[in-house]
Amino acid sequence: MARCPAALGASARAFKRTAQPAARVAVGATASSSSAPLGLARASRFPPASTSAAVARTFSTSAARALGPAPPRRPDFKKLDAEDVAFFRSVLSSDSSVITTIPSPDGSWATASADDLVSYNVDWMDKYHGNSPILLKPKTTDEVSKIIAYCYKQRIAVVPQGGNTGLVGGGVPLYDELILNTEGLNQIREFDDVSGILTVDAGCILENLSNYLAPKGYMMPLDLGAKGSCHIGGNVSTNAGGLRLLRYGSLHGTVLGIEAVLPDEKGTVLSINMPGDGKAGALRKDNTGYDLKQLFVGAEGTLGVVTGVSIMTPRLPSAINVAVLSVPDFESVQTVFKETRAHLGEILSAFEFFDQEGLELVLHHTGAKSPFESEPEGGRAFYVLIETSGSNKDHDDEKLGGLLESLLENGIIADGTLAQDETQVQSLWALRESLPEAAGKMGKVYKYDISLPLPTMYSVVEEARERFATKGLIEDGSIKTVVGYGHIGDGNLHINIVAKQWDEKVESAIEPWVYEATAKRNGSISAEHGLGLMKANSVHYSKSDAAIQVMQQLRRLFDPRGILNPAKYLPPTEQLPGEGEQKVQ
Ligand X SMILES: O=C(O)CC[C@@H](O)C(=O)O
Q: Which of 184, 203, 225, 301 binds ligand X (CB under 6 A)?
A: 225
Sheet strands (E) in 423-556 = 444-451, 479-487, 492-499
Nearest-CA neighbor of 38 among 568, 420, 425?
A: 425
Query: What track of x and - describes contact with ligand X for positions 131 through 170 (by CB under 6 A)?
Result: ------------------------------------x---
CB atoms within 10 A of CB 268: 15
Q: Are strands 178-181 and 158-161 parallel, antiparallel or unpaired?
A: parallel
Q: How far is the CB of 247 from ligand X (least distance, A)?
A: 15
* Amino acid occupying residue 463: E
Residue placing its CB nearer to ligand X in the complex, 125 or 270? 125
Residue placing its CB nearer to ligand X in the complex, 317 or 440? 440
Q: How far is the CB of 494 from ligand X (least distance, A)?
A: 4
Q: Which is it for the CA torsion 213, 216, 221, 225, positive or negative?
A: positive
User: Which residues between 402 and 441 bind ligand X (CB under 6 A)?
Assistant: 436
Q: Is 497:444 a contact under the CB 8 Å cutoff?
A: no
Q: Which of 97, 131, 165, 496 binds ligand X (CB under 6 A)?
A: 496
Q: How far is the CB of 437 from ligand X (least distance, A)?
A: 9
Nearest-CA neighbor of 273 among 469, 57, 289, 331?
A: 289
Q: Does 244 bind ligand X (CB under 6 A)?
A: no
Residue placing its CB nearer to ligand X in the complex, 184 or 241? 241
Q: How far is the CB of 35 from ligand X (least distance, A)?
A: 28
Q: Does 39 bind ligand X (CB under 6 A)?
A: no
Residue placing its CB nearer to ligand X in the complex, 257 or 436? 436
Residue placing its CB nearer to ligand X in the complex, 273 or 492? 492
Q: How far is the CB of 42 from ligand X (least distance, A)?
A: 13
Q: Please tell me the distance from the alpha carbon of residue 214 to that of residue 316, in angstroms, as a whole number.
A: 7
Q: Does 535 bind ligand X (CB under 6 A)?
A: no
Residue placing its CB nearer to ligand X in the complex, 73 or 480? 480
Which residues have a Cβ under 8 Å from the Cβ of 436 and sit 6 or more positions away? Answer: 46, 225, 445, 447, 494, 496
Q: Please tell me the distance from the alpha carbon of residue 220 to that of residue 58, in angstroms, as a whole number.
A: 35
Closest-approach residue to ligand X (CB): 436
CA distances 505 to 35, 365, 441, 497, Å, are 53, 27, 21, 13
Residue placing its CB nearer to ligand X in the complex, 511 or 581? 511
Q: How far is the CB of 435 from ligand X (least distance, A)?
A: 6
Which residues have a Cβ under 8 Å from the Cβ of 300 and sit 6 or more positions away? Answer: 170, 237, 238, 530, 531, 532, 565, 568, 569
Q: Does 447 bind ligand X (CB under 6 A)?
A: yes
Q: Does 494 bind ligand X (CB under 6 A)?
A: yes
The site for ligand X (CB under 6 A) is made up of: 167, 225, 436, 447, 494, 496
